[in-house]
Chain A
Amino acid sequence: MTNRSITVGRLLIAATLFIAAIVGTYALVRVVPQTGRRNELPPAFSLDLKDKFSVDPSLIRFTQTAEIAAGLEEVRALAVGPENRIYVAGDRAIAIFQPDGTPHTDIAVKGQPRCLAVGGNGWKDPGSLYVGTDQGIEVFSPNGEALDAWPAVSDKSRITSIAIAKESVYAADAGEKVVLRYSPEGELVGRIGRPDPEREMPGFIIPSHSFDVAIGPDDELYAVNPGARRVQSYTPDGELDSFWGTSNASIEGFFGCCNPAHLAVLPDGRFVTSEKGIPRIKIYTPLGEFDSVVAGPTELGLHETAAGDARTSKANRIYDIATDRLGHVLVLDPVGRCVRVFSPTGKPDSTEEGKGQVSRR
């Protein structure tokens, strides 16, 4: 066989492959619906979130420094405990990690965990776990031994967040629309935030199951009033003390009908908020003034085309948050099923006193 005939043969094979590729591409375009069957509506009929997705880079004062795979099929809640251990609730378990991301242990939970809190160093039993499920609150020792189960207060009850103060366990109940206050032994000792028409005190407005509580550095209780786009503080006996928060789609405010979805407090008293809809993790000063951004949708790995996808499996991605003693912000990514650790990169500008917008009752 001559060199010439070999070359011709190769050319024929290449030409055949080329034609096959063109035919294959054409067939794919004809067959796959996404490639060829678009609607013919003008742009006014589509949702444009481009402006809201872009965050001014000068406002972002955190950077992601670590990512910890949760090892769970579905992740739901995040907390940080003593020694900065990281606790992730999901499936029917709690996965515990060392601060560097090394797996520590797993704890099996009877119900499906929806939220959790870990007793800090000031708590009677540091490291003990309080896990909110459909059935109420399950209590575990630091070693993962089931100690107690506090039943749900009613059929409507839906515990969405738990926070531990020095002498109380607070549970946000989105079904009952109140914050439940328990003694350390599990006795229900109060309901905070009930409407009081005589004193013109409206109750919590909770259009969906986003209702979060957190404890400040001075043991004060903060609760999100999502329908009012506010963070409210309460005295230990349940009196509304102050509130802050504005409602708008700009970066300074809270977007949509019910935000922030999650709340945490940094060791210096600044607030961390997590919004749903357009996922944004932001920092507010102790007086409630916008401070900076931890992560916008892009930093959380979300493309603008993904937002507004109405499919149940794609919509309503909510990122739980927690803070550690070193000032890191930890974000639970439900898509990547991981914990993203963000570290501060610069000093906040607006921490001077007197600049805030807190309203006191």
Chain B
Amino acid sequence: MNEKPPTMSDTQPANNRRDFLSDGLRVAGVLTVGSLAGYLAGRRGQPGALRWQIDPDKCMGCGNCATHCVLDLSAVKAVQCFEMCGYCDICTGFYDVGYTQLDTAAENQLCPTGAIVRKLVEEKAGQRFYEYTIDNPQCIGCAKCVKGCALMNGSLYLQVLHDRCLNCNECSIAVACPTEAFVRVPADRPYRMKKQALPLIQQKAKDPSNRAARDLADRVQSS
């Protein structure tokens, strides 16, 4: 009974060392995991990894793309999806609704800048059928043709062209987009197709001889 009970000074140093080492290891682990996560997140967040793009299924053709881009001439242009159409005699994306003649006179064209080009493909059943494409430097992205085409087959739609887009951190058009059609997409697949068109191009891409379809299928995605 004369034995002296252990005092705090006898046990504390050993416990402190153990706790200190254990806490140190925990902190080091958390720091390592945090740094790794931060590094990975930082890599993903690099400006080159993601691009702005328009989801064509959500775009209503409001015209904001023409005036809200920070560039003088918008990076948004109309594109033609030949899987859906692009072959017409009376294209409602090309002709004004009140056309008087089926010619290229300015008053008969829908596009205010004359950015849609037609090329004769064939004459059939008394009609002349044309292929319609976009003259990019002329296109301001006003979407008038997109709305005209939406009356019929919807093969004309807007896309952000990445040879022009500055990939701003906060895209001015995305902020002004009334239907939230602007989305971030991977830089290696920076274009989007309408849902209706993607299966058609994927079907064509299965043909080994159709390299163009394969290249296109690799670069686009659906919404």
Contact = CB atoms under 8 A, between A and B. Distances in A.
B14 interface: no
B66 A39 contact: yes
Secondary structure class of chain B's binding surface, majority of residues: loop
A310 B157 contact: yes
Interface string A19-55: 0000000000000011001111100111111011000
Contact of B153 (A39, A40, A258): A258
A45 B66 CA distance: 10
A356 interface: no
Contacts of B148: 47, 308
Interface in B144-198: 144, 146-154, 157, 175-179, 194-196
Interface string B37-77: 00000000000000000001111111110111000000000
Scoring A41, A227, A256, A257 by chain B CB atoms within 10 A of each residue's CB, the highest score goes to A257
Contact of B127 (A40, A208, A227, A311): A227
Given A38-B64, A44-B112, A207-B153, A257 B179 contact: no
B147 A205 contact: no
Interface stretch (A77-85, A280-288, A312-320, A338-346): A312-320
A315 B154 contact: yes
A132 to B, nearest CB: 19
B92 to A, nearest CB: 5
Scoring A38, A202, A207 by chain B CB atoms within 10 A of each residue's CB, the highest score goes to A207
Nearest to A41: B63
A38 B176 CA distance: 8
A258 B178 contact: no
Given A51-B98, A205-B127, A277-B151, A310 B64 contact: no
Contacts of A45: 63, 66, 112, 142, 144
Contact of B196 (A33, A249, A312, A314): A312
Interface stretch (B1-9, B25-33, B83-91): B83-91
B176 A310 contact: no
Contact of A39 (B58, B62, B97): B62
Contacts of B179: 311
A29 to B, nearest CB: 13
Contacts of B125: 202, 205, 225, 227-228, 230
B20 interface: no
A312 B61 contact: no
Contacts of A276: 151-152
A169 interface: no
Contacts of B201: none
5 contacts: A39-B66, A207-B88, A228-B126, A257-B85, A311-B58
Interface of B: 56-64, 66-68, 85, 87-92, 97-99, 110, 112, 124-127, 129, 142-144, 146-154, 157, 175-179, 194-196
Interface of A: 33-34, 37-41, 44-49, 51-52, 202, 205, 207-208, 225, 227-228, 230, 247, 249, 255-258, 276-278, 307-316
